[in-house]
């Protein structure tokens, strides 16, 4: 395209985004979630209206939760596509900061377009402007700086000529991938500029696959050959790389069992003969026993978070880390292999040839049998079901579904107990953000419309953020919500007790309230247009899950559960120690006992960084 095109800065931005394509011929940024206010309605709002379906706009109910939907969409698309989110200045923008941190921790692409103050400063201070007494360049949007991969403040229209390509580079780079914030001054949004026509030519963004360094590859191959009992830890990078088949081939050919992180779970189906299940704090007996005995742990696409490593007490052997990001690959004194996960596994498979280690699957079979018994339907009676029994019911009713969650008891329970088909797991546990669940289910279903999506959410997380249920109803996006009501924050109540504390301010029964709440979650969900029902027990829950498949709106199934025991209680060998600091002094024997136990466990922590 030759010549120039006269457009406002906002019009130019959305036109440019509409022609940034994937290798499959789709827009990389599919469209934009928007809640308008005085900082974006006149400029960005007019531009989005003008471009129409070429770059569609969707209205959410809360800036944070519509951003969660965008993040879940990107995760569901394995980072191959993304969405944008725009807000006004002030609270609309800062509402998105939590979501930006969530995307940053989870290495997921989302484009935040936050309205900002006037670049001209003529009307300062404008409504909702945060003033810094010592720095005239600061606005509320500077809160985004530590929680995005790239931040830019657009103070002149022509700055978009460099800012937009930089933003897309970050969002499509496998090593640097994460959220971007463009803080867009509201007067600049409306300013016109003569844009080069070539700026709006269609561009295809290719996601690179870095090859491993030859010396690093040789070193890692030699370590694997020398190992007697290696174990793989599969992280989210396996899925983002599309390396599921390469992982299965590598494990099968060389006889190396696989443990899973939260992000890596379902890269292999649970039915795969070498899949030992979850690693670490919420890990299986089979996986943790193998990792404790391993003389070589091979991390693939994992950032080795504390839940995965048992707060660095679980792995005693040598550690190899295969990761596209050098920062992650070098953690915990690992031998680094910096490369795309799929390419690295393929090159290692070729380098190792017919090399194979022995694997005894007895522990895996014993573990899965124990899980089946643990998750079985309860005997007849009046006792409330456990979270494990709820998971078992959903597993029986929807074995091919994608189970998704984010915070509370269920993430650990699902990682421990859910037996997914390949691709049948979606967990936000990098930031473990309460309130992600329902918005995340919406975004996930938009990304994976062909799959059944089951959203597990506790009453605590539901109370934090539920309004995108109305959005899903309006857009006719069907998914099933299993709302487990244990009348408070049951997960943290157990952690409080486990660290020597008294029951306090977690369960409603232990809070300073004048009356215990009687919350009708069925009526609440129904008021937003969802199909909502109370399940009378496990059999009823299974029936309601099956019935939900016929609807084109979300279904919310509420079931009362017991706050205790924990999901792994009674499962021999399940779980591992987690480093949660215990007060060094206190007045109770319970606290003193917990502190002594803490000191004993902490002596086993590795100290190499």
Pairing of strands 192-196, 4-8: antiparallel
- In the chain the first and final C-alpha atoms are separated, in Å, by 52
Structure tokens at 523: 């009526």
* Residue 513 within a domain: yes
CATH code assigned at 31? 3.40.50.970
Give the DSSP letter string of 166-232.
Answer: HHHHHHH-TTT---EEEEEEHHHHT-EEEEEGGGGS-EE-----PPPPHHHHHHHHHHHHH-SSEEE
What average pLDDT score do residues 186-209 get?
97
Task: Find out whether 88 and 38 touch, Cβ atoms under 8 Å.
Answer: yes
Q: Which of 342, 364, 386 is the last residue of a domain?
A: 364
* pLDDT on residue 311: 95
- 462/328 same-domain check: no
Per residue in 59-72, pLDDT (tens digit) is: 999 999 999 999 99
Q: Which domain holds residue 234?
A: 214-364
pLDDT (average), residues 219-229? 98
Cα separation of 477 and 495, whole Å?
Answer: 36
Q: In this predicted model, what pLDDT tens digit does every residue of 497-534 receive, in sequence order?
A: 999 999 999 999 999 999 999 999 999 999 999 999 99
Sheet containing strand 425-427, strands side by side = 425-427, 402-405, 453-458, 480-485, 555-560, 531-534
CATH number reported for the structural domain that contains residue 289 in this entry? 3.40.50.1220
pLDDT digits (tens, 9 = 90+) for 13-43: 999 999 999 999 999 999 999 999 999 999 9
- For residues 426 and 475, state if they share a domain: yes
CA trace torsion 363, 368, 370, 371 (10° rounding): 140
Question: Among all chains, which residue has been given the structure tokens 């995108």?
Answer: 468
Residue 463 belongs to a domain: yes
Number of folded domains that form the chain: 3
Q: What is residue 427's three-state secondary structure?
A: strand
Q: How many CA atoms lie within 13 A of 58 on its CB side?
A: 26
pLDDT tens digits for 177-187? Answer: 999 999 999 99
- Per-residue confidence band for 2, with pLDDT thresholds at 50, 70 and 90: confident
pLDDT band at 380 (very low <50, low <70, confident <90, very high): confident
Kindly report, residue by residue over 548-568, the tens digit of the pLDDT.
999 999 999 999 999 877 788
In a domain, 123, yes or no: yes
Q: Rounded distance, CA 328 to CA 300, Å?
A: 10
Position with higher pLDDT, 573 vs 220? 220
**To 5 degrees, how large is the angle CA 119–CA 123–CA 126?**
90
- The tokens describing 286, both together, are 């089979």
CB 154 within 8 A of CB 139: no
- In a domain, residue 584? The reply is no
Q: Within 10 Å of residue 437's Cβ, how many Cβ atoms?
A: 31
Mean predicted confidence (pLDDT) in 442-448:
98
Q: How far is residue 110's CA from residue 99's CA, in Å, rounded to a whole number? A: 10
Mean pLDDT of 406-428: 96
pLDDT at 379 over 90: no
Same domain, 151 and 38: yes
Three-state DSSP at 294 gives: coil
Q: How confident is the model at residue 608 (pLDDT cuts 50, 70, 90)?
A: low
Contacts of 516-519 spanning 24+ positions with Cβ under 8 A: 519/459, 519/463
On whether both 57 and 150 belong to a single domain, the answer is: yes
Query: Do 92 and 149 belong together in one domain?
Result: yes
Give residue-wise pLDDT tens across range 42-61. Answer: 999 999 999 999 999 999 99
Residue-wise pLDDT tens digits, 144-197: 999 999 999 999 999 999 999 999 999 999 999 999 999 999 999 999 999 999
Q: 381: which DSSP letter?
A: S
Per-residue pLDDT, averaged over 311-329, amounts to: 96
395 and 525 belong to one structural domain = yes
Residues in CB range of 6: below 8 A, 6 or more apart: 192, 193, 194, 195
pLDDT at 63: 98
Do residues 428 and 478 both lie within one domain? yes
Mean pLDDT for 106-116 is 98
Domain final residue, candidates 560, 576, 592: 560
Q: Which of 332, 364, 396 marks a domain boundary?
A: 364
Indicate whether 479 and 386 sit together in one domain: yes
Q: Could you tell me how far CA 590 lies from the centroid of its own chain?
A: 35
Same domain for 383 and 305: no
Regarding whether 328 and 413 lie in a shared domain, the answer is no
Residues 6+ apart with CB under 8 A from 43: 8, 9, 10, 184, 186, 188, 189, 190
Contact residues for 569 (Cβ-Cβ < 8 A; gap 6+): none
**Predicted confidence band of residue 365 (pLDDT cuts 50, 70, 90):** very high
Q: Which two tokens stand for residue 92?
A: 């609309």
Residue identified by tokens 């457009």 is: 7
**492 domain-assigned:** yes
Helix H, strand E, coil C: the string for 81-130 is CEEEEEECCCHHHHCCHHHHHHHHHHCCCCEEEEEECCCCCCCCCCCCCC
199 lies in the same domain as 218: no
Report the pLDDT averaged over residues 204-209: 97
472 and 533 assigned to the same domain = yes
Residue 431 lies in a domain: yes
609: pLDDT strictly greater than 60: no
Which H helix or E strand runs over 388? helix 387-397
pLDDT tens digits for range 247-304: 999 999 999 999 999 999 999 999 999 999 999 999 999 999 999 999 999 999 999 9
278 backbone dihedrals φ, ψ, rounded to 5°: -75, 150
Question: Does residue 448 lie in a domain region?
Answer: yes
The mean predicted confidence, pLDDT, of the chain is 96
Q: Per residue in 458-469, pLDDT tens?
A: 999 999 999 999
Place of tokens 């009378």: 536
The pLDDT assigned to 565 comes to 79
Residue 320: strand pairing partners: 298, 335
Is position 524 within any domain? yes
């Amino acid at each position: 395209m030759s010549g120039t095109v006269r457009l406002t800065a906002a019009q130019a931005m959305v036109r440019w985004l509409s022609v940034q394509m994937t290798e499959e011929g789709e827009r990389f940024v599919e469209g934009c979630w928007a809640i308008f206010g005085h900082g974006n309605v006149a400029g960005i709002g007019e531009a989005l209206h003008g471009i129409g379906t070429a770059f569609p706009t969707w209205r959410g109910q809360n800036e944070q939760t519509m951003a969660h939907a965008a993040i879940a969409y990107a995760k569901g698309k394995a980072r191959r596509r993304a969405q944008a989110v725009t807000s006004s200045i002030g609270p609309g923008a800062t509402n998105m900061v939590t979501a930006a941190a969530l995307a940053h921790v989870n290495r997921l692409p989302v484009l935040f377009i936050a309205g900002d103050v006037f670049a001209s400063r003529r009307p300062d201070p404008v409504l909702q402007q945060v003033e810094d007494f010592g720095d005239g360049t600061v606005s509320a949007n500077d809160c985004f700086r530590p929680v995005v991969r790239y931040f830019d403040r657009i103070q002149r229209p022509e700055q978009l000529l460099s800012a937009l390509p930089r933003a897309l580079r970050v969002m499509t780079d496998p090593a640097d991938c994460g959220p971007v914030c463009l803080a867009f001054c509201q007067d600049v949004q409306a300013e016109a500029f003569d844009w080069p026509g070539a700026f709006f030519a269609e561009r295809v963004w290719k996601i690179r696959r870095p090859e491993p360094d030859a010396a690093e590859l040789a070193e890692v191959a030699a370590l694997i050959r020398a190992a007697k009992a290696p174990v793989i830890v599969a992280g989210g990078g396996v899925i983002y790389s599309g390396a599921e088949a390469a992982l299965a081939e590598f494990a099968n050919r060389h006889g190396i069992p696989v443990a899973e992180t939260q992000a890596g779970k379902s890269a292999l189906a649970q039915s795969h003969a070498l899949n030992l299940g979850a690693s670490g704090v919420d890990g299986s007996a089979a996986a943790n026993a193998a990792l404790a005995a391993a003389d070589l742990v091979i991390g693939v696409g994992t950032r080795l978070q504390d839940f995965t490593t048992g707060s660095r007490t679980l792995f005693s052997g040598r550690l190899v880390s295969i990761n596209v990001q050098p920062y992650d690959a070098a953690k915990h004194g690992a031998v680094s292999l910096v490369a795309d996960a799929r390419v690295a596994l393929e090159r290692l498979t070729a380098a190792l040839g017919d090399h194979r280690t022995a694997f005894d699957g007895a522990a895996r079979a014993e573990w899965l049998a124990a899980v089946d018994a643990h998750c079985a339907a309860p005997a007849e009676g009046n006792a409330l079901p456990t979270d494990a029994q709820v998971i078992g019911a959903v597993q029986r009713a929807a074995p091919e579904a994608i189970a998704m969650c984010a915070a509370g008891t269920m993430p650990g329970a699902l990682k421990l107990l859910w037996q997914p088909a390949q691709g049948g797991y979606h967990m936000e546990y990098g930031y473990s953000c309460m309130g992600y669940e329902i918005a995340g289910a919406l975004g996930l279903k938009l990304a994976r419309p062909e799959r059944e999506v089951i959203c597990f959410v506790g009453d605590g997380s539901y109370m934090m953020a539920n309004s995108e249920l109305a959005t899903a109803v309006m857009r006719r996006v069907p998914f099933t919500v299993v709302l487990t009501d244990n009348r408070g924050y049951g997960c943290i109540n157990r952690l409080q007790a486990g660290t020597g504390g008294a029951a306090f301010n977690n369960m409603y029964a232990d809070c300073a309230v004048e009356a215990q709440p009687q919350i009708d979650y069925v009526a609440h969900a129904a008021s937003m247009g969802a199909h909502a029902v109370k399940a009378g027990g496990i059999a009823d829950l299974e029936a309601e899950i099956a019935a939900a498949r016929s609807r084109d709106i979300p279904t919310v199934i509420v079931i009362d559960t017991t706050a205790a025991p924990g999901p792994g209680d009674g499962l021999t060998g399940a779980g591992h120690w987690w480093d949660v600091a215990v007060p060094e002094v206190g007045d109770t024997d319970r606290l003193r006992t917990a502190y002594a136990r803490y000191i004993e466990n902490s002596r086993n922590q590795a100290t190499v960084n």
